[in-house]
Amino acid sequence: MHYHQYYPVDVVNGPGTRATLFVSGCEHQCRGCYNQSTWRLDSGHPFDQAMSDRVIADLNDPRIKRRGLSLSGGDPLHPANLADVLALVKRVRAECPGKDIWCWTGYRLEELSPAQQEVVSLIDALIDGRFEQALADPGLVWRGSSNQIIHRFRLDDDV
Ligand code: SF4
């Protein structure tokens, strides 16, 4: 897997203070996409063991308390990204107790493959669906168009 950007401290992509990883690779080609530079799977930088270690260390850094990890892109659920994304979310679950995981994808929840569902079974929230320019609304929180749905899998969250 490659990634485009990594923000070790981010207050925009999801609730609270977070670490955010924008992965490379997206096959949805939504009109009006503002992340077109992330479409190619080999764009950006290799997501290697050192980057995985850095994400885990940042989430556990007591100097800046992060609520959790946001996975965006590109598409974290692109089939070519699944093995590395699954490994990362498993590490967060095992090594970062109390941290949540939010994920943005262009796929809809009901059309996910078993491999994509395995990733989703380990996260706290999935924002799904392609960006639809006709339904775009800058007033929406954490999503770009009104067809996208914020699926919350953990009911004890406070937002
Ligand atoms: S799913 Fe997101 S990154 Fe992919 S084309 Fe659509 S808006 Fe762009």
pLDDT tens digits for 100-115?
999 999 999 999 999 9
Token pair listed for 101: 């995981």
What gap in Å lies between CA 22 and CA 15, rounded to an integer?
A: 16
Using pLDDT thresholds of 50, 70 and 90, give the confidence band for residue 154. Answer: confident
Cβ of 130 less than 6 Å from ligand 1: yes
Using pLDDT thresholds of 50, 70 and 90, give the confidence band for residue 159. Answer: low
Cβ of 106 less than 6 Å from ligand 1: yes
* 138 CB neighbour count, 10 Å cutoff: 5
pLDDT number for residue 37: 94
Which atom of ligand 1 is nearest the CA belonging to 26?
4
pLDDT number for residue 34: 87
What gap in Å lies between CA 122 and CA 77, rounded to an integer?
A: 13
Q: 3-class DSSP state for residue 10?
A: strand
Q: 3-class DSSP state for residue 110?
A: helix
Say yes or no to pLDDT of 15 above 90.
yes
Exposed/middle/buried for residue 12 (C-beta within 10 Å: 0-12, 13-18, 19+):
exposed
Say yes or no to pLDDT of 157 above 60.
no
User: For residue 101, what are the β-bridge partners?
Assistant: 69
Full set of structural domains in the chain with CATH? 2-152 (3.20.20.70)
Among candidate residues 106, 99, 102, 1, the one with its CA nearest the CA of residue 49: 1
- Ligand 1 centroid to 9 CA: how many Å? 23
What gap in Å lies between CA 87 and CA 110, rounded to an integer?
A: 23
Q: How high is the mean pLDDT of the chain?
A: 96
Q: In this structure, are residues 84 and 55 in contact, taking their beta carbons and an 8 Å threshold?
A: no
- Which of 33, 39, 77 is the pocket-test mutation for ligand 1 (most atoms within 8 Å of CB)? 33
- Ligand 1 centroid to 107 CA: how many Å? 10
Cβ of 75 less than 6 Å from ligand 1: yes
Maximal CA-CA distance, the chain:
43
pLDDT, greater one: 155 or 42: 42
Which atom of ligand 1 is nearest the CA belonging to 32?
7
Say yes or no to pLDDT of 65 above 90.
yes
The pTM is what?
0.96
What gap in Å lies between CA 121 and CA 117, rounded to an integer?
A: 6
Mean pLDDT of 52-63: 98
Q: In this structure, are residues 100 and 20 in contact, taking their beta carbons and an 8 Å threshold?
A: no
Say yes or no to pLDDT of 22 above 80.
yes
